[in-house]
Amino acid sequence: MPKRRLMAPGPTQVPEAARLALARQVTHHRTSAARATLAEVLDGLRYVFRTNNDVVVLACSGTGAMEAAVVNTVPRGGKAIVLEAGVFAKRWGDICEAFGIETIRHQAQWGSAIDPSDVAALLKKHPDVAAVFGTLMESSTGVGHHVEAIGKAIRSARSPNGAAPLWIVDGISGAGVMRCETDAWGIDVLVVGSQKALMLPPGLGILAVSEAAWQQMERIQPQAFYFNLLTHRKKLQGGSEGPDTPYTPAHTMIAALRENLQIIREHGIENIWARADVLSAATRAGIEALGLKVFAERPASGLTAVEFPAELDGATFLKRLEQRYGVKLAGGQGHLKGKIFRIAHLGALDELDVLSTLAAIELVLLELGVKVTFGSAGAAASRHLAANPLAPSPLVA
């Protein structure tokens, strides 16, 4: 096996401090120490997501947290708009339909960004929707959506004293790497997973929930149990003893998350966003210097999706990169399978990871018969890096 370089959009590399926390012997989960750890983690998550809202941590993967966002905010028989321009946005619609929700799927071309004015128009046509579901970084296409502007369109559509529709955003792969101002942008429920910018293994689903969303939940009384967020809130409020959970939490993961949140705080979330901007732009410069095309109309900061050249067999390319150089990129999903590949700039990755990935791409392209000029991708990326100097990254795996 070659040296491994995980450059896919999740799971990302886990810092050593978190991995050592995961290796510690397990202690009981109903103790004052466990409550203190949870309290510290909730605070850290509020810092990362730029919110004063309640944060709920569930034992599940991202899709479970998406389900929690749906079943708690839209009643069976209620109505929702899904802004669908990729695999993960489509999943919002699938979840809604599984729970008997009338779902308006606003489908835009995959690779394009949803137009906020389309959302405004949709809301005029459907003033009775309980929530609009969208995506921060659509990791199937590499698009960063206009979450702030869509939030504005949704707020303007609310009646003066109405809270609906809620703005519910899948930030599973985006939050913590690309700018996301939960409160300032009016995000009522932000959904996040542990295995992306938070640099943990999969297994935690996280939701930041606004007061308007809590009120909507109280009105609709969710038909849910494990994912009933009202039950979780009751335990979170926990009185003088600090926050707790209704069911056994994945408390070793929560303890490991504390380690990563300390690193993130020390670095500063603004600095992490700025770093991802630079790494993403450098990658795009490198890709374009190779004559390849960036797929996304509005590329996310944290992920670059690239179209395969017509003459290249995508599966062979990805397999060779992984087997020869240990570079794990992601292929396309859904109808984009075989058409694009995806390079992440998420978590504990730095400038040299970007440059060595581009170098490996050059080597494998040539090997597979695509004409390349050695060093062209690296040169273009390095030029961007030199023009936008970063401090050494404290995010190290």
Q: Which of 106, 232, 251, 275 binds a copy of itself (CB under 8 A)?
A: 251
Q: Is 202 in the site for a copy of itself (CB under 8 A)?
A: yes
Q: Which of 201, 238, 291, 394 binds a copy of itself (CB under 8 A)?
A: 201
Give the span between the Cα atoms of 212 and 338, in whole angstroms: 42
- Would you say 265 and 44 are in contact if contact means Cβ atoms under 8 Å apart? yes
Q: How far is the CB of 214 from a copy of itself (least distance, A)?
A: 19
Binding mask 88-117 for a copy of itself (x = CB under 8 A): ------xx--xxx-----------------
Helices (H) and strands (E) in the chain, counts: 13, 15
How many residues does this entry show for the chain?
397
Q: Is 10 in the site for a copy of itself (CB under 8 A)?
A: yes
The identity of residue 381, as a single letter, is: A
Stretch of residues binding a copy of itself (CB under 8 A), selected from 63-71, 108-116, 118-126, 279-287: 63-71
Residue number with CB closer to a copy of itself (136 or 157): 136
Residue number with CB closer to a copy of itself (277 or 322): 322
Q: What angle do CA 293, 295, 299 make, to 5 degrees?
A: 110
Residue 306: other Cβ atoms inside 10 A: 22
Q: Is 27 in the site for a copy of itself (CB under 8 A)?
A: yes
Residue number with CB closer to a copy of itself (271 or 393): 393
Stretch of residues binding a copy of itself (CB under 8 A), selected from 42-50, 57-65, 106-114, 367-375: 57-65
For 22: left if phi > 0, alpha if psi spans -120 to 50, otherwise beta; the answer is: alpha
SS3 175: strand
DSSP 3-state helix, strand, coil percentages of the chain (rounded to 5)? 45, 15, 40
Q: Which of 144, 176, 193, 302 binds a copy of itself (CB under 8 A)?
A: 193
Residue number with CB closer to a copy of itself (63 or 376): 63
Q: Is 37 in the site for a copy of itself (CB under 8 A)?
A: no
SS3 115: coil
Q: Is 63 in the site for a copy of itself (CB under 8 A)?
A: yes
Q: Which of 131, 177, 250, 361 binds a copy of itself (CB under 8 A)?
A: 250
Residue number with CB closer to a copy of itself (184 or 230): 230
- Interface residues for a copy of itself in 222-241 (CB under 8 A)? 223-228
Q: Is 20 in the site for a copy of itself (CB under 8 A)?
A: yes
Q: Is 357 in the site for a copy of itself (CB under 8 A)?
A: no
Q: Which of 49, 53, 57, 62 binds a copy of itself (CB under 8 A)?
A: 62
Q: Is 195 in the site for a copy of itself (CB under 8 A)?
A: yes
Q: What angle do CA 30, 207, 270 make, to 5 degrees?
A: 110
* Token representation of residue 319: 């397999």
Q: What angle do CA 55, 9, 98 make, to 5 degrees?
A: 60
- Interface residues for a copy of itself in 162-191 (CB under 8 A)? none
Residue number with CB closer to a copy of itself (22 or 163): 22
Tokens 């067999």 found at: 313
Q: Is 249 in the site for a copy of itself (CB under 8 A)?
A: yes
* Token representation of residue 125: 């046509």
Q: Is 29 in the site for a copy of itself (CB under 8 A)?
A: yes
* Token representation of residue 146: 């206009």
Residue number with CB closer to a copy of itself (11 or 242): 11
Give the span between the Cα atoms of 144 and 146, in whole angstroms: 7
Give the span between the Cα atoms of 63 and 183, in whole angstroms: 23
- Interface residues for a copy of itself in 312-331 (CB under 8 A)? 328
Q: Which of 12, 73, 140, 216 binds a copy of itself (CB under 8 A)?
A: 12
Stretch of residues binding a copy of itself (CB under 8 A), selected from 56-64, 112-120, 273-281, 285-293: 56-64
Strands (E), the chain: 5-6, 54-59, 79-84, 102-107, 131-135, 137-138, 143-144, 166-170, 189-193, 204-209, 293-294, 303-307, 327-328, 330-331, 340-344
Q: Which residues bind a copy of itself (CB under 8 A)?
A: 4, 6, 8, 10-14, 19-20, 22-29, 59-64, 67, 94-95, 98-100, 193, 195, 201-203, 223-228, 247-253, 328, 397
